[in-house]
Amino acid sequence: MTPLPRTAGDWLHWAGRQYGRHKVALGQVATSAHDEALYLLLHTLGLPLDSKSSVLRRKLTPEQVAAVKEVFRRRLKDHVPAAYLTREAWLGEHRFYVDERVIIPRSYFLEIIPEQLPQWLPAKKPVKRVVDVCTGSGCLAILLAHQFTDAKVDAVELSPEAMAVAKFNVASHGLGKRVKLFHSDVFDAVPRAKYDIILSNPPYVPTRELRALPAEFKNEPQMALDGGSDGLVIIRKLLQQSADRLQPHGIVVLEVGGLRGAMDRAWPDLDLHWLNTSDGEDCVCVVQAARLKSWQATSGLD
Ligand SMILES: C[S@@+](CC[C@H](N)C(=O)[O-])C[C@H]1O[C@@H](n2cnc3c(N)ncnc32)[C@H](O)[C@@H]1O
């Protein structure tokens, strides 16, 4: 008989093996079973995430064993995503409260906002006004507010449940004065303003593909994923409504999963510029105000 795990390290090895046996889907919190199991273990034991490896030699108390068993039962057997178990998600150094009302933050914008957005904007003009459309937990609006410290940030969301989470996160980041939330279907109910940046990570999974998603992803709000029949429904509406809301030097920047081919085919004259990300060049695109305006005037959207 295999001996019961005794130390934190034993439990980590045990959990790592179980991830494969239970066909656990990764990608929402970490991309490796070891990293995710370590995160869950440290969090459950109340240990800092940057603990020294020596903590793995600690023998667990019976109460700790019970807590660890329960958290891994829910992760492995019920396929509850790790972030919903810990009620938190991290983008870089930024922590956000999450629960089942919002999709778990995981976005290329973490790298793109600081590293690439500034070079698309005039160096001498301070960024004054930006908007995050489809804000969910509010994470990207908050990243924008941290990056562009003089800017007013609008954040738009259609789900009232998600808005409540965004409101909590905005307040806990101390940004209540600078980040304003709007309950709206894209820009329908947002007062007119001219933005330097319109940013969005909209729902983009084609509806017919939702059923094939692993159980973990079915725990997330479906309206955070469902991009309509071709995946482009909300993106199309956003592009239609954006031209009039941009400063002349402004940009629209969109994270669109694997829809590069579909977008380039649907709107070849829009001439989207695809940004380099850690996973390649087919998930985040930029279009400048002038291009969007002239394209809309000549061809418009189908
Ligand atoms: C892919 S999630 C992105 C959430 C967040 N920005 C992030 O990166 O974690 C898309 C969000 O758009 C919201 N949403 C769906 N349809 C919308 C619409 N028509 N107008 C505004 N928000 C919408 C969903 O409720 C969800 O919170």
Give the separation between CA 290 and CA 248, rounded to whole angstroms.
7
Give the separation between CA 177 and CA 192, rounded to whole angstroms.
19
Closest C-alpha residue for ligand 1 atom 14: 134
| pLDDT > 70 fraction of the chain, expressed in percent and rounded | 98
Residue 154 phi/psi, 5° resolution? -100, 150
What secondary structure letter does DSSP report for 127?
P
246 has a pLDDT exceeding 90: yes
1 has a pLDDT exceeding 60: no
Cα–chain-centroid distance for residue 242? 21
What pLDDT band is residue 301 in, cutting at 50, 70 and 90? low
What is the residue-averaged pLDDT of the chain?
A: 94
* Lowest-pLDDT choice from 7-21, 133-147, 172-186: 7-21
pLDDT digit string, tens, across residues 122-147:
998 999 999 999 999 999 999 999 99
Task: State the average pLDDT over residues 90-116.
Answer: 96
Q: What is the 168 CA–ligand 1 centroid distance (Å)?
A: 16
Task: State the average pLDDT over residues 169-177.
Answer: 98
287 has a pLDDT exceeding 90: yes
Question: Do β-strands 129-133 and 273-274 pair in parallel, antiparallel, or remain unpaired?
Answer: unpaired
Whether the CB of 139 sits within 6 Å of ligand 1: yes
Compare 281 and 96 and report the one with higher pLDDT: 96
Whether the CB of 157 sits within 6 Å of ligand 1: yes
Closest atom, ligand 1, to C-alpha of 136? 27
Closest C-alpha residue for ligand 1 atom 2: 224
Structure tokens at 110: 């973490």
300 has a pLDDT exceeding 80: no
Q: What is the 137 CA–ligand 1 centroid distance (Å)?
A: 9
Give the separation between CA 44 and CA 64, rounded to whole angstroms.
8
Position 102 scores a pLDDT of 98
Closest atom, ligand 1, to C-alpha of 140? 6
Q: Domains in the chain and their CATH numbers?
A: 8-86 (1.10.8), 102-298 (3.40.50.150)
31 has a pLDDT exceeding 90: no
Whether the CB of 169 sits within 6 Å of ligand 1: no
Position 296 scores a pLDDT of 87
What pLDDT band is residue 280 in, cutting at 50, 70 and 90? confident
Task: State the average pLDDT over residues 163-186.
Answer: 98
| pLDDT > 90 fraction of the chain, expressed in percent and rounded | 87
Closest C-alpha residue for ligand 1 atom 7: 105
Reduce the DSSP state of residue 48 to 3 states and report it: coil
Q: Are the beta carbons of 39 and 21 closer than 8 angstroms?
A: no
35's CB contacts (< 8 A; 6+ apart) are none
Nearest one of 218, 281, 289 to 255, comparing CA atoms: 281
